[in-house]
Structure 1
């Protein structure tokens, strides 16, 4: 079932690159920019997460936290995060359960049977983790509107 604006965001507990489990609950009281990306080290994902990295000071000043999620494993995500100096959690949903909970599973990526990923998506959550903005792309090469994200956070 799709997660829509006005809905309470599904909770999660996912592993980071250091094999530490992180939950949405630990960010209660902050707005959250939840960025689901297609694949660690893919070119468009790198551009997207680097834009979030480069604007993190502005995002933080607006009381928000960026969390990035893919269905990659923790070691791939750690290498990706270290290579690009990401300054926010990059979490692995290796079972794709959270991706399914948000109803954004992209099946057969690049026409490869059973190679599933997250649709490139951004959910902005308020301080109580209610969804206040949602963007989901069927095209894994399309980036979100970063100016619109900043406007919603304001």
Structure 2
């Protein structure tokens, strides 16, 4: 089932880098930028999440919360987050359940059988819990359009 703008955003319960279980509901209150990354530590994911990190102050003024999700475990995510001083949660979807719920599963990454990852994608969830913006790439090397995201948030 493909999610579209206007659909309710699926809830999740995922471990953060401190092994605390986090849900979508706890981030509600303003808009949520939900960024699915391909792999913690990969070069393009590094650029993407560092761009969100560097936009934190601007997004915070708009009442926006950034939440990143990878299919890596919480320990790999923690090393990645600490290395780059991420100022937002990086959640571990090591079973790929949430990745499947958002219909962004990329099976057999780099042609490695059963190495599943998330397609690089960004969802913006509005205050009412509905998806207001959706961007999904079939190309793991393609970055999202950051200006488009910022313009949507304004």
Q: Which band: TM-score by shorter chain?
A: over 0.9
TM-score (norm 1): 0.99
Whole-angstrom distance in 2 between the partners of 1:28 and 1:97: 21
**Corresponding residue number in structure 1 for 2:56:** 56
Quote the offset at 1:128 in angstroms: 1.9
Instruction: Tell me how many residue pairs correspond in the alignment.
Output: 154
Q: Is the 8 A contact 1:124 1:133 kept in 2?
A: yes
**Corresponding residue number in structure 2 for 1:121:** 121
Whole-angstrom distance in 2 between the partners of 1:49 and 1:129: 23
TM-score (norm 2): 0.99
**Corresponding residue number in structure 2 for 1:152:** 152
- Does residue 1:105 correspond to 2:108, yes or no? no
Whole-angstrom distance in 1 between the partners of 2:133 and 2:115: 28
Q: Is the 8 A contact 1:104 1:118 kept in 2?
A: yes
The two structures, once aligned, show a CA RMSD in angstroms of: 0.5
Q: Which ranges in structure 1 are unaligned for 5 or more consecutive residues?
A: none
